[in-house]
């Protein structure tokens, strides 16, 4: 099934899985959309940083606005030293999620555009990366003693702490996945029920949700990373 057929058949959930090697299945639609999202993010960021001026204008101003905002969040949560280390990861995460969430809301003319985040694989991949990144930062900052937080305040809490470490990425991933998927399904349903006006209102609402979910995911990431740097401030 081609991309155009997928759009016309209303296949919001058409991930187009393909077995590229025996036993290795990849959702091609998700992969393409992920690449598109990456390309858009890269183009925006490179356009903004190609010719950095002291007095920003145009797209540099826009990107700087987001970056300053995220820098402020990170400064407040993990301090300036932590921000310097974590900034590229957090900024990339936010821009990828923001662009990815909004892509599914773009007009579907000829090609089937969907958010890469409407495939549970993507949010889960990102959430797991966040978890791993937290441990990488933690060990880099404090050494192996960082793992000690798993048996705090008491050793008996170890199972609960491990459960929490697992629950965190899963909840983050499912929250994002559910919001974006629901937005796209509802948009498709609304197009079928009321072809005019109402879907446009929903698109407006969904764009806000897309930003909000990107922000929530990023904020939770910042909060998750923060303890890795916190004792540095003592």
Partner 1 sequence: MVSLNFTLIAQVVNFIILLVILAKFAYKPLLKALDDRRAKIIDDMDSAEQTRLDAEALKKEYTKQLANAKKEASEIIDKANKSAQTMHETMLQEVQKDKENIMAAAKEQIEQERTQALQDVRGEVIALSTQIAGKLMRQQLDSAENRAAIEKLTDEALTQKQA
Among 48, 78, 180, 209, binds partner 1 (CB under 8 A): 48
Under 8 Å between Cβ of 90 and 222: yes
Size of the chain in residues: 234
Peptide bond into 153 cis (omega under 30): yes
Structure tokens of 7? 């759009």
User: Of residues 63-92, which lie at the interface with partner 1 (CB under 8 A)?
Assistant: 63-64, 67-68, 71, 84, 87-89, 91-92
Strands 17-21 and 24-27: antiparallel
Structure tokens of 197? 């006006």
Nearest alpha-carbon partner for 229 in 86, 111, 130 = 86
Residue 128 touching partner 1 (CB under 8 A)? yes
SS3 category, 17: strand
Nearer to partner 1, 6 or 126 (CB): 126
Q: Which stretch binds partner 1 (CB under 8 A): 125-133, 139-147, 187-195, 198-206?
A: 125-133
Residue 49 touching partner 1 (CB under 8 A)? yes
Residues that bind partner 1 (CB under 8 A): 13, 15, 17, 24-27, 30-31, 34-35, 38, 41-42, 45-46, 48-49, 52, 54, 63-64, 67-68, 71, 84, 87-89, 91-93, 96, 116, 119-122, 124-126, 128-129
């Amino acid at each position: 099934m081609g991309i155009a057929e997928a759009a016309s058949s209303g296949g919001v959930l058409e991930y187009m899985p393909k077995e590229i090697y025996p036993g290795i299945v990849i959702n091609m639609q998700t992969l393409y959309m992920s690449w598109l999202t990456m390309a858009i993010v890269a183009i925006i960021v490179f356009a903004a940083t190609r010719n950095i001026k002291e007095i920003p204008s145009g797209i540099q101003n826009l990107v700087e606005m987001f970056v300053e905002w995220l820098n402020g969040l990170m400064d407040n949560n993990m301090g300036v030293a932590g921000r310097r280390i974590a900034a590229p990861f957090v900024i990339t995460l936010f821009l990828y999620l923001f662009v990815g969430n909004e892509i599914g809301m773009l007009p579907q003319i000829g090609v089937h555009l969907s958010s890469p985040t409407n495939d549970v694989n993507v949010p889960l991949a990102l959430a797991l990366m966040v978890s791993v990144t937290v441990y990488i930062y933690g060990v880099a900052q404090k050494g192996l003693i960082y793992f000690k937080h798993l048996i705090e305040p008491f050793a008996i809490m170890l199972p609960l702490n491990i459960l929490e470490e697992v629950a965190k990425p899963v909840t983050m991933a499912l929250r994002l996945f559910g919001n974006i998927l629901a937005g796209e399904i509802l948009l498709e349903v609304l197009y079928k029920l009321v072809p005019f006006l109402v879907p446009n209102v929903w698109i407006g609402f969904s764009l806000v949700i897309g930003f909000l979910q990107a922000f929530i995911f990023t904020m939770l990431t910042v909060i998750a990373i923060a303890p890795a740097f916190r004792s540095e401030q003592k």
